């Protein structure tokens, strides 16, 4: 039993969804459950309902689109990813996995093939963690790694609690039935752009993901004293910005990895009161650490704490852990099915390790889980120039359809 996905329909849907939060630079700015993301969810719901699929929403805003199976009591075979983007993000990160899954459901539906297990396309809420930190929030709550209460209480950069946005989503999707958190899956497959250069450099169409590195997200808050920038002599100053900059520079030296395996990023930095003539009294910055080895992440965590303490003077500084996720590996039936489907379709493929974090990280312990990557141009992602080709997108979606069909039958 095989089905053939419709590559034109799939590409056109990517271009349709890219309208929600479209930026002048050709990317998307569609933060978790902001106006554009809500509109995108409504558009996905309309497509799904038009196909006769059912909608389900859980308490943290994850959306499930369901095609019934012969035995509705069997757990669903699930595929999907996220719809939210980074600020000035790309048109393919996340949404490719959602649309590939939706295309798989529609192709299977139109082929008339009945599967034993139900099939579901999942749209995880707040994968990017830009508006509400940390990322992968919807999947973390669904899998039990994060409490629902903690997630709903998270306040966005704009001062709005996630709870209010989830309520707005529920009001926007009155057709959606309630889905209890943690409802079991038979299997999970996530398709995603690689967000790196390896597949394109190798001329390979499909990456069979072997695992995903761990990450650690820390917030450093430096507290000094606001003073007059004209009258306050240096010897009396407690300049939070200068202390923060000293700390960041010391961290760059202390965390320097000659082998270039560790990923150390300071992607957010704020000072207060951020005024021309006031010595900054507060400075905060976010640290994003990634490494395949958990022990190495823990060693780096200790280095951060020690380095901050050593360089904070004359200010005070604290280090707060925002999230951590251990490295995971993908073994078993889903990875094998992806491999087999690529061979059968004679699509060039190779194993690949994921430097980026994805929602599927929380599921290897809960159900057979696997991921596939397709190339993205010049390895660029989290950038308006992010691009994946129609043929690679079609190849990835075809493998999703083949794997879902196999696992659900
Ligand atoms: O940060 C990540 O790795 C993901 O792309 N949001
Ligand atoms: Mn993503
Ligand atoms: Mn991303």
Q: How confident is the model at residue 135 (pLDDT cuts 50, 70, 90)?
A: very high
In a domain? residue 370: yes
What does the DSSP 8-state code read for residue 377? G
Tell whether ligand 1 has an atom less than 6 A from the beta carbon of residue 128: yes
Ligand 2 centre distance from Cα of residue 280 (Å)? 35
Shared domain check, 146 and 105: yes
Could you tell me if residue 27 is inside a domain?
Answer: yes
Check residue 51 and give its pLDDT.
98
Residues 185 and 206 in one domain: yes
| pLDDT at position 255 | 98
Using the mean position of ligand 2's atoms as its centre, give its distance from the Cα of residue 225 in Å.
39
**Predicted pLDDT at 29:** 98
Q: Identify whether residues 168 and 313 lie together within a single domain.
A: no
In terms of domains, do 317 and 331 share one? no
- End residue of a domain, out of 325, 347, 372: 325
Could you tell me the CATH number of the domain that includes residue 237? 3.30.70.360
Q: Is the pLDDT of residue 1 over 80?
A: no
Q: Are 265 and 297 found together in one domain?
A: yes
Mean pLDDT of the chain: 98
Rounded Cα–Cα distance for residues 256 and 264 (Å): 9
318 with 354, same domain: the answer is no
CA of 18 to the centre of ligand 1 (A): 19
Number of domains the chain is built from: 2
Q: Quick: pLDDT tens for 357-383.
A: 999 999 999 999 999 999 999 999 999
Q: For 140-186, how does the pLDDT look when each residue is reduced to its tens digit (9 = 90+)? A: 999 999 999 999 999 998 999 999 999 999 999 999 999 999 999 99
d(CA 342, CA 207): 10
Q: Taking a C-beta distance cutoff of 8 angstroms, is the pair 191, 337 a contact?
A: no
Those residues whose C-beta lies under 8 Å from the C-beta of residue 131, and which sit 6 or more positions away, are 31, 32, 33, 34, 84, 156, 157, 158
Are residues 72 and 88 both part of a single domain? yes
**Residue 371, domain member (yes or no):** yes
The 214-223 sheet, strands edge to edge: 263-272, 282-291, 214-223, 316-325
Domain limits for position 401: 7-213+327-408
Buried b (16+ CB within 10 A) or exposed e, 104-123: bbbbbeeeeeebebbbbbbb
Domain end (from 284, 303, 325): 325
pLDDT at 347: 98
Q: Looking at 297, 325, 353, which one is the last position of a domain?
A: 325
Q: Which helix (H) or strand (E) holds 218?
A: strand 214-223
Cβ neighbour number for residue 356 with a 10 Å cutoff: 18
Residues measured by CB to lie within 5 Å of ligand 2, the ion: 93-94
In a domain, 356, yes or no: yes
Ligand closest to 136 (CA) is 1
Ligand 3: distance of its center to the CA of 112 in Å? Answer: 35
Report the CATH number at residue 57: 3.40.630.10
Residues 298 and 275 placed together within one structural domain of the fold: yes
98: its two tokens? 């959602």
Mean pLDDT calculated for residue range 273-287 = 98
DSSP state of 53: -
User: Considering every ligand atom, which ligand is closest to the CA of 90?
Assistant: 3
Q: Which atom of ligand 1 is nearest to the CA of 288?
A: 1
**Rounded distance, CA 360 to CA 237, Å?**
48
Residues 198-242: tens digit of each pLDDT: 999 999 999 999 999 999 999 999 999 999 999 999 999 999 999
Integer Cα distance of 145 and 151 in angstroms = 11
Kindly state the average pLDDT of the residues 10-19.
Answer: 98
For the record, the structure tokens of 5 come out as 């996905």
Do 198 and 226 reside in the same domain of the chain? no
In a domain, 1, yes or no: no
Query: Could you check whether the bond before residue 314 is cis, i.e. omega within 30 degrees of 0?
Result: yes
Q: Residue 158 in 3-state DSSP? A: coil
Q: Does 200 lie in the same domain as 118?
A: yes
Percent of the chain with pLDDT over 90: 99
pLDDT score of 310 more than 80? yes
For ligand 1, is residue 136 a contact (CB within 6 Å)?
Answer: no
Whose tokens are 């497509």? That residue is: 47
pTM of the model: 0.95
Q: Which pair of tokens denotes residue 212?
A: 């995903």
Does 246 share its domain with 154?
Answer: no
Nearest ligand to the C-alpha atom of residue 128: 1
Residue 262 clears pLDDT 80, i.e. is over it: yes
Nearest to 176 by CA among 32, 53, 75, 359: 53
Which sign does the torsion angle of CA 179, 189, 91, 290 carry? positive
Average pLDDT of the residues in 258-264: 97
Report CA(224)–ligand 1 centroid distance (Å): 32
- The pLDDT of residue 132: 97
User: Do 152 and 107 share a structural domain?
Assistant: yes
Residue having the nearest C-alpha atom to atom 6 of ligand 1: 128
In a domain, 51, yes or no: yes
* pLDDT for res 2: 82
**Residue 211 and residue 193: Cα distance in Å, rounded?**
15
Nearest to 130 by CA among 156, 149, 150: 156
pLDDT 10s digits, 318-347: 999 999 999 999 999 999 999 999 999 999
């Amino acid at each position: 039993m095989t089905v053939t996905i419709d590559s034109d329909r799939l590409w056109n849907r990517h271009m349709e969804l890219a309208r929600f939060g479209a930026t002048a630079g050709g990317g998307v700015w569609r933060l978790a459950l902001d106006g554009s993301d809500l509109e995108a969810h409504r558009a996905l719901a309309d497509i799904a309902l038009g196909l006769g699929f059912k909608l389900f929403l859980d308490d943290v805003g994850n959306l499930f689109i369901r095609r019934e199976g012969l035995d509705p009591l069997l757990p669903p075979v699930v595929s999907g990813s996220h719809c939210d983007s980074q600020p000035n993000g790309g048109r393919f990160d996340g949404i490719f996995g959602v649309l590939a899954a939706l295309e798989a459901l529609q192709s299977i539906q139109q082929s008339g093939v009945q599967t034993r297990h139900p099939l579901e396309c999942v749209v995880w809420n707040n994968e990017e963690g830009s508006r509400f930190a940390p990322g992968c929030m919807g999947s973390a709550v669904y899998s039990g790694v994060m409490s629902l209460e903690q997630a709903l209480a998270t306040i966005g950069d704009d001062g709005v609690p996630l709870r209010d946005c989830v309520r707005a989503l529920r009001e926007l999707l009155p057709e959606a039935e309630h889905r209890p958190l943690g409802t079991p899956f038979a299997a999970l497959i996530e398709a995603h752009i690689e967000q790196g250069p390896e597949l394109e450099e190798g001329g390979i169409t499909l990456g069979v993901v072997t695992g995903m590195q761990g990450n650690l997200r820390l917030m450093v808050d430096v507290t000094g004293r606001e003073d007059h920038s004209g009258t306050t002599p240096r010897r009396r100053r407690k300049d939070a910005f200068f202390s923060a900059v000293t700390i960041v520079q010391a961290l760059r030296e202390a965390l320097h990895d000659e082998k270039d395996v560790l990923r150390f990023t300071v992607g957010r930095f704020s000072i207060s009161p951020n005024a021309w003539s006031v010595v900054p009294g507060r400075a905060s910055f976010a640290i994003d650490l990634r490494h395949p080895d958990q022990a190495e992440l823990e060693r780096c965590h200790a280095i951060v704490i020690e380095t901050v303490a050593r360089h904070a003077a004359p200010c005070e500084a604290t280090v707060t852990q925002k999230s951590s996720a251990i490295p995971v590996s993908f073994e078993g039936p889903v990875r094998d099915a992806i491999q087999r489907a690529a061979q059968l379709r004679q699509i060039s493929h190779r194993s690949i390790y994921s430097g980026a974090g994805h929602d599927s990280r929380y599921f290897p312990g809960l159900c057979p889980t696997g991921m596939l990557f397709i190339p993205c141009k010049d390895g660029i992602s989290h950038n308006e120039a992010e691009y994946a080709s129609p043929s690679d997108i079609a190849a990835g979606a075809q493998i999703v359809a083949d794997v879902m069909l196999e696992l659900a039958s």
